[in-house]
Amino acid sequence: MKSANHMKQKPLTVVFASLILIGGFLPPATFAQTLDEACTAIANRLMAEQIQQGDKAGTWTSEADFTGSIVAGMMAACEMSSRDAWMASAELGGDYILRSAEGNFYGDEAYALTRLSEAAADPCDNAWRTAVESFYATVSAEYPGGTMGYIEDYGRIDHSTAVFYIANHVVAACYVDAADKEIWRQGLIESLCGVDDSCLFPVMGLGVATWALALTGPLDKTPIMDPVGQGAAYWTGSTLQDLPHMLMSRQVPEGRQGAGGFYWLFGQVDGDPNGWTEDTIFATLGLTAAARTSSDPKLDSAILAAREALLSGVAADGRVWELLSQQGAVYFVYAGEMLQALEALSLLSVPADINKDGQVDLTDFQILIARWGSSNCEEPSWCDGADINRDGQVDAADLGILLEFLPNQQASVSDEASGM
C-alpha cells in the first residue's frame, strides 16, 4: 500500500498542472517533448543503428563521410545525460575517424575528436587530442602555402560548404591551441564573405560561422571582408558584431508557416520557408554561442522560438528529417547535428526562471498565473517575465516551458560548459 508520504512526493509538475486544469485556467494541452526527451530518443536511435563490425565499424549506413558530425552529436548527448553506452558509441566512431582519415581530418572530424578529448581521463593528454594537434602542426609545416594555403584550397568547392568545414576547424584548432589558430579564424572570416544566395546553404553558412567565431573570440567591429576588399555584396559594411542580428533577420516570424525556423536564403522575405532542418540547427548554434556573452533580449526571444521549432522536428523514435515538418529524407547526420543544437540550448540560462533567483519554483509559477492571459507583452518587461517565449502573450506555451524545468532546476550555466 502506498503511504501518505508517497502522495506528498508527487512531482511538482503534476501537482501544478492539476491545479491549473481543475481551476479552469485553460483546457488540457499537449506540449512538445523536452530537450532531454528529444536527446534520449535521438541518441538511443543512433546507438542502435551504428555499424558494429567490419571496415565501417563506428559509422552509420551510407553516411561514413559524416561520422564526425554524428560523433560530435553523441558527445553532446553525453554532456546532457551521461550514458556509458552513448560514450562507447562515440568512441567507436572516433576510432573509425582515426583509422580512416589517416591524419587528414575533415573539419567536423577534428571537432568530434576534440569533444572526445574533453571527456577523456586527462583532457590534456590523450590519443584524440594528440591526433588533432598533429594534424594542425602538419598542415602548418608541410602543406603548400601552409595553413592559409590549405584554407584557400577550400575555394574550389561551394563557399557555404567550405565555411562549414573551416568553422569546425576553427573551434578544433582553438581547443588544441594550435599555433595557427588565428589564421584559421581569419580564414573563416574571409571565406564567409564569399557566401551569397548562389551558394547551396547560405543561412547555414552564416549560422555555423557565427557559432565558431563567437566561441573562439569576440564578435567585434572586425569587417567581414577579405584583405583586398572583395566579397559578396551582401556583406558590404558588415562586421562580426552584426552576425547575430543578420541571423535573426532570417528567422521565420510568428504567425507564418514554419515560425521559429529559418529561411535558407539571405534574400527570402516571404513565402514558404521550406523549414530546412539544418538551417535552423546551425542558426540556433550561432545564436546560442552569441548569447553566452550578450544580454540582448532579442536573442533570448529568437532562441526560444528556434527551440520550439527544433523540438517539433524530432520524432518520438528519434528520427530527424530533412524538413522540420517531419517530411523529406531522414539522415543520421541530421540527428547528430540536432543533438549539438539541443546541447547548446541546454547550456543557456533557464528561461523559466522568471524572477531570476537561480531556480525555477513555485514563485515563478505564481508570477505566471498572476499574468495569465496577458497580451501585448513586449520588451523590456515581457509582462513581468511571464511571457517566457516572448510571443507577446502569456499562455499555454509559456506554461509548457515552465513545467519542463520544474522542480528546482538550477538556472545558472556551469562554468565548465563545453563547446571548445
CATH code of the region 1-30+352-420:
1.10.1330.10
Q: Which residues pair with 262 in a beta bridge?
A: 251
> Tens digits of per-residue pLDDT, 327-349?
999 999 999 999 999 999 988 86
Domain boundaries, the chain: 1-30+352-420
Where do we find the cell 554561442? 289
Q: How confident is the model at residue 110 (pLDDT cuts 50, 70, 90)?
A: very high
**CA dist., res. 216 & res. 420, Å (int):** 8
> Tens digits of per-residue pLDDT, 265-301?
998 766 555 579 999 999 999 999 999 888 787 898 8
**CA dist., res. 168 & res. 191, Å (int):** 13
Q: Which residues pair with 409 in a beta bridge?
A: 360
When mean pLDDT is compared across 1-15, 37-51, 112-126, 210-224, the lowest value belongs to 1-15
Largest CA distance in the chain: 79
**CA dist., res. 311 & res. 92, Å (int):** 27
**CA dist., res. 353 & res. 409, Å (int):** 9
Q: The C-alpha cell of 125 is what?
A: 593528454
CB-based contacts of 369, cutoff 8 Å, min separation 6:
20, 25
For residue 24, is pLDDT > 60?
A: no
> β-strands 359-360, 409-410: how paired?
antiparallel
Output the pTM of the full model. Answer: 0.82
pLDDT at 33: 81
- Tell me which residue of 246, 150, 268, 146 sits closest to 193, measured CA to CA: 246
Where do we find the cell 542580428? 245
Burial of 100 (0-12, 13-18, 19+ CB in 10 A): middle
Cα–Cα distances in Å, from 205 out to 122, 217, 290, 359?
33, 18, 15, 36
